[in-house]
Structure formats: C-alpha cells, structure tokens
Structure 1
Amino acid sequence: MKNINISFFLLSFLIFLGSCTETNTVINPGDKPVVEAYLAPNHPVSLKLYSEIPYSDTSEGVSQPIDGVSIKIIGSNGKTFTLSSQGSGLYTSANNELIGPAGTTYSLEFDFKGRKVRATTEIPSKPINFKSDKTEISRTQIDLSNFTPGSGGGIRPGGGFNQENTSVNLTWSNPNNYYHFVAVENVEENRVQIIIPPSGSSFPSFRFFNEPLIGSSNVVRSQSFQFFGKHDIILYRVNGEYAALYQATGTTSQNLSTPPTSIINGLGIFTGINADTVKFVVNKN
C-alpha cells in the first residue's frame, strides 16, 4: 500500500484558531497542546506535538514544538506503543512497530500541564474497487522562462494555454457513505515541469488533493497535473473527525470559532486512515 502522506495544511490553522475558546473554560489560552497524528495500517506510528498560539496574543507568535512528553497509544488488540521524543516535536515508536489492521481502535494518552490529554480513533477499512478510466494522458510543455508580461512573447511550444483539458474519472464503491478524498503525487526523482514558469516564480507542489466527500466518484482534470512522468493517484478513506477539521478551515477573521477536535484537553487531529492507489503517467507530447 502507498505510504500515507497527507499534506498538513490544517496544522497552522489549528495552532492559530485553536485558542478561541469560550471565556468560561478552565484551561487558559495557549495551554492546550496541538496534536497531529494519522494512523495507517501496517505503518509505523508517528505523532507531532506543538504549542498553541492563543488568539488573545496580539503579537505575531510562533507555535513551538513540544518535546520530552511521555506519550502512549493503546490498541484494542492489546498492543501499546510507547512513543519517544525525537526532537522538533516529533514522536515515534520504538523499533518501527506497526499499526494494526482495519477495525483496530487506538487510544491516545499523555499528561500535559497537569491535565490528561486523551483521544480515540478507529482504523477504517481500505477503499473498495478504486479505479481510474485512464492510465495516462499527454500534455505539451510550455516554456515561460523568458516571458515578460505585456510582451506577448516567450511562449513556446504550443502557442499558449489552450490545451485540451482531459477528464480523469475516478470511481470506487461506497455503500456505507464513508468519507474519502483523492490525492495525486508525482513520484519521479527528477521532476520535469509541464509549465516552466518565469524566472523567480515559486516551484509548484508535486502533490495536490481535493476535499473529503461522501460519494463514490471524483474527477481530476489534466491541467491539474504540474509535472510529467509517473504519478500515484491515492484514494484515502478517512474518519469524520478529519472531514470536520478540513471543513473548519473555512473559518475567517470575521467568523472565528474553536476548530472541531476529538482530543480531550487538547487540539488537533488524532485519526485513523486507510488508502488504495492507482498508477498514472503524464506523457510529454
């Protein structure tokens, strides 16, 4: 199974908004740890722990990694992971012990500032009948490295952006209405960009993904791919706590609220995930 690797765009959102708690809370702003842990079957345990930036902090605070905490993850199969601090907020289990199969429940426990932080999650089953109607597409490379705005030149070959936008249709079975999301990752060691940007532009991400949904299909457009070569199209099955946290990223400065979390006396995400992968290639015309 594809190595689980989810973009942690949610974390910065959590750290900043996490302290917008009600005024009658007994936990002071900034006193909740922010947890980031995704448990996947047959993968080692890895957890990140950071400090919360209280919303009441008028300075431009920076979240800090939290090291040296004694953390346990206890499985319903009788196996306990004792996590060791690796520095920079990272915690791992000894001897690369692996998470159990789908259906196993895991409980998180550790003490922080005199309170017990707890959370529970279950490893979901693997996605069923994941398929793509295409295994490859072709695109033309566009070179904008010498492009000057307003000059009308510097685009070669292909003459511009009017390339065919092919649909890659993804389907899977979902009789029980689980949450899923699709991620696409370029797996080439030496990545070649489809659109070479003007000098000084930022390098595009080799991974992109959609929002969690309850359904049994999704579409990836050919123009979403940023690189030629081999890709993994990964279908993740996730629990409700991940979907709720993703949806909460729509909170704005005009509508601040406590982000949803299943962690008692803490913030963040402690959740089980599972995945299946299809291989895909973007060829160069």
Structure 2
Amino acid sequence: MVTNYRKIIFSSIVLLLFLAAACKKDSSTADYSALPVVEGYLMPNKIVEVKVSLQKALVDTNAYGVAVTGLTLSISDGSITKTLTEDKAGHYILNDLTFIKSGSTYKLSFTYNNLPVTASTVIPDKPSGIVTSADTVIIPKMTFGSTETAFVPVYIRWNNPNSYNHIVVFRYLETFKSLISSRFNSDTVSSVEVNAVKAAEFELTARSFKYYGNYKVIVTRVNQEYLDMLNNNSTSSQNLTNAPTNVTNGLGIFTGMQSDTLSKKLLVKAEE
C-alpha cells in the first residue's frame, strides 16, 4: 500500500527531531538533556558529512542547535577507519568520494562528555528502472455548471523486487510559481515528498501538486531508521518524548541512502 506522507522538503525532518530532543526524558544512564544531536546521510560518490549540535530549545527559532566543536569523529567500514575533519563549527567531513559503497556497513564513533557515541548504517543499492506512465500530468478544468473532465492518473514506477523502502521527491523547477488553485497559499512549499514505503510505484492524483510547471522526479532508497523519523511527524507531547534515533548515547540519525533521477522532466499543466 502506498502512503502519502506529507508534502515537505527533506530539511523539515531534522527540525522535528530537534523539537523532540528538547522534550526527551529517560531513566537510562545517559542524561538526555546533555546528549549530542547527530545528523549524517551517507551516499556513494559523495563526501561524508556529519553535523553534531546541542539540542534545540522549543523556543529557539534557529534551524539547528548550537554546534558541537572540537570533536574527533571516525567512520569505519569494518576494515578501514578514517577520521573526519571539522571544516566549520559542528560540521565534520571526509573528503573522499570513493569510501562509501553500496552494500557496505559503516560505523560512526566519537566521544562526547566522556561517553562513547556510536551509530551504524548500511548503504542500500541504487534504485533502477524509473519510468512514468506519461510525461505530463493534466489537471482538469473546474468550470461552474459544467461536468469536470475525469483525471487520468500518472504512475511513477521503479524496480523493487525485494520490497525496499523508497521516498519519492518531485522537485519544483520553475522560477516563478503558478498556483493550480486559488485555495492554495502562494507561500506553500512547492516541492513534494511522498513515502512510497515498500511499493514499486506511486500514483499521482489531481491533488498531488499545488503548482503548474516542470518537476524533477527523484526516487531514493532509504533504510528503516530514516522512515522511523519521517513517520514521527506529529508534534504532540507524546510523540516528542519518543523521538526515534539510531544513535547510541546521542540523538538524531546516521543513515545510508541512494537516489536516482527520472531521465526527463515531469510536466504538470492545466487542461486545454
């Protein structure tokens, strides 16, 4: 079953995590008010980037908490261990495009407040076979007093014989926004992200988009730890106190992913 998550951009996930971290309470050894927040997304052919910060207060309007500097972060694939360098406050990198490989498992390690902070993840294979049932999504006209033309669904499909988790992003490419309906606010986020779960297709409906124009279609294969955080989308106090994380003695996420892009643009336009 395909679940339409919500129409967001990737950065909103991290903001929710920081809000959750600010409310986290636990009786384990670690003091959650002092735990670092880790953010790292590993992809082949990309440099390794990991952000480490303090927890963000609920009243803090900044995108991130205060950066944690001066750490020694290392990443290992089980046979080779490499040390990241801090290129700016709280931002640690490994400038090696060949270190991250499909199918490999990576472990992040560092010490903070005399506690060992660790996290591990596997790099999923790259998605393949991305196609669309049509190059254009046609939005029917809604004219008072007339019968609306039936919408013809458009499908995004990809190979997924092993039922891996996928996220599909429709990245808006236009400089000037053209609203589909006056019911939408012009400040509405223009890109669309959906959680396709373990499916091999996603069905676009007449309500999938808020803007006319061209979109880039990106299919990303992700791990369960990513979906756990993505699905924790409520800001209720109950969910805030149970924010998911795969970081030991820390909060946040350290996860692998791989993306591929549809070779052509997807056009959303009005019925002529």
CA offset at residue 241 of structure 1?
A: 0.8
CA distance in 2, matches of 1:46, 1:32: 19
CA distance in 1, matches of 2:238, 2:108: 34
Q: Is the 8 A contact 2:44 2:100 kept in 1?
A: yes
**Is residue 242 of structure 2 the alignment partner of residue 238 of structure 1?**
no
Q: Secondary structure at the match of 1:9?
A: helix
Q: 1:78 to 1:187 in 2, by over 3 A?
A: farther
Q: 1:240 to 1:114 in 2, by over 3 A?
A: same
Q: CA RMSD in A?
A: 3.1
Mind listing any 5+ residue stretches in structure 1 that lack a counterpart?
1-5, 141-156
Mind listing any 5+ residue stretches in structure 2 that lack a counterpart?
1-8
Match of 1:93 in 2: 94
Q: Secondary structure at the match of 1:119?
A: strand
Match of 1:179 in 2: 165
Instruction: Please give the residue correspondences for 1:1-285 in structure 2 after superposition, counting only pairs within 5 Å.
Output: 7-18=10-21, 19-22=23-26, 24-53=27-56, 60-61=59-60, 63-76=65-78, 78=80, 80-87=82-89, 89-94=90-95, 97-138=97-138, 165-188=151-174, 190-195=175-180, 202-250=186-234, 252-254=236-238, 256-278=240-262, 279=264, 280-283=266-269
Q: Is the 8 A contact 1:185 1:207 kept in 2?
A: yes
Matched to 2:106, the amino acid is: Y
CA offset at residue 15 of structure 1?
A: 1.6
Q: Secondary structure at the match of 1:12?
A: helix
1:162-213 deviations in Å (ceiling 9; x for gaps): 786442212223222211121110234x233234869xx5523231111251
CA offset at residue 265 of structure 1?
A: 0.6
1:23-61 deviations in Å (ceiling 9; x for gaps): x2222232111111111111222222221247xxxx835
Q: Secondary structure at the match of 1:270?
A: strand
Match of 1:152 in 2: none
Length-normalised TM-score, structure 2: 0.79
CA distance in 2, matches of 1:233, 1:81: 35
Matched to 1:101, the amino acid is: K
Q: 1:163 to 1:185 in 2, by over 3 A?
A: farther
CA distance in 1, matches of 2:251, 2:18: 8
CA offset at residue 11 of structure 1?
A: 1.6
Matched to 1:67, the amino acid is: T
Q: Is the 8 A contact 2:24 2:241 kept in 1?
A: yes
CA offset at residue 159 of structure 1?
A: 5.6
Length-normalised TM-score, structure 1: 0.76
78-87 vs 42-51, which moves further: 78-87
Q: 1:225 to 1:136 in 2, by over 3 A?
A: same
Identity of aligned residues (%): 26
